Amino acid sequence: MHQNTPGRPMPAIIVSAADQERLVGVAMAALDRTPDVAEELLAEMDRATVVAADALPANVVRMGSTVTFRTANGRTRCVTLVFGGEADIAMDRISILTPVGTALIGLAVGQSITWTTRDGREQELTVLAVDNTAR
């Protein structure tokens, strides 16, 4: 769940038309199992700027991206954003259907977002690097 922190607007996000279409389908299918995250993903897709895949900048997080980000407490993580069936936390492959996965989609290097963990803690992350070469 993303927060619109007073004085800090939500960052602009950009997604490809193909990712948006697939992610809306994933979110709709997950509404019964994980309604909070599914609704958040739908909200993110609603507010995203949608472009053709070849117009998506290289520094933007998309499905399959390997993302390095820093949390507000200074911890740095490197994860790959995947669909649910491909998730494996031991291999740093996180599902789009997690609060952090939904927070990352569409962000560009240098952007920050505040989001809420499943246990209700507010977190902030900043994207440091995006690698899309494995796609």
- Boundaries of every domain in the chain: 14-131
Distance of alpha carbon 97 from alpha carbon 87, whole angstroms: 10
Question: Are residues 114 and 122 in contact, defined by beta-carbon separation less than 8 angstroms?
Answer: yes
pTM of structure: 0.90
Report the topology of domain 14-131: Chitinase A; domain 3 (3.10.50)
Which pLDDT belongs to residue 126?
97
pLDDT, tens digit only, all 135 positions of the chain: 444 444 457 899 999 999 999 999 999 999 999 999 999 999 999 999 999 999 999 999 999 999 999 998 899 999 999 998 899 999 999 999 999 999 999 999 999 999 888 888 889 999 999 999 875
Spatial separation of the C-alpha atoms in residues 23 and 17, rounded to whole Å:
10
In the structure encoding, which two tokens stand for residue 63, read together?
Answer: 């499905």
Query: Under DSSP, is residue 31 helix (H, G, I), strand (E, B) or coil?
Result: coil
Residue 101 and residue 107: Cα distance in Å, rounded?
A: 11
> What span, in angstroms and rounded, lies between the C-alpha atoms of 64 and 106?
12
User: What pLDDT is stored for residue 119 in this prediction?
Assistant: 85
The Cα 9–Cα 56 span in angstroms is 22
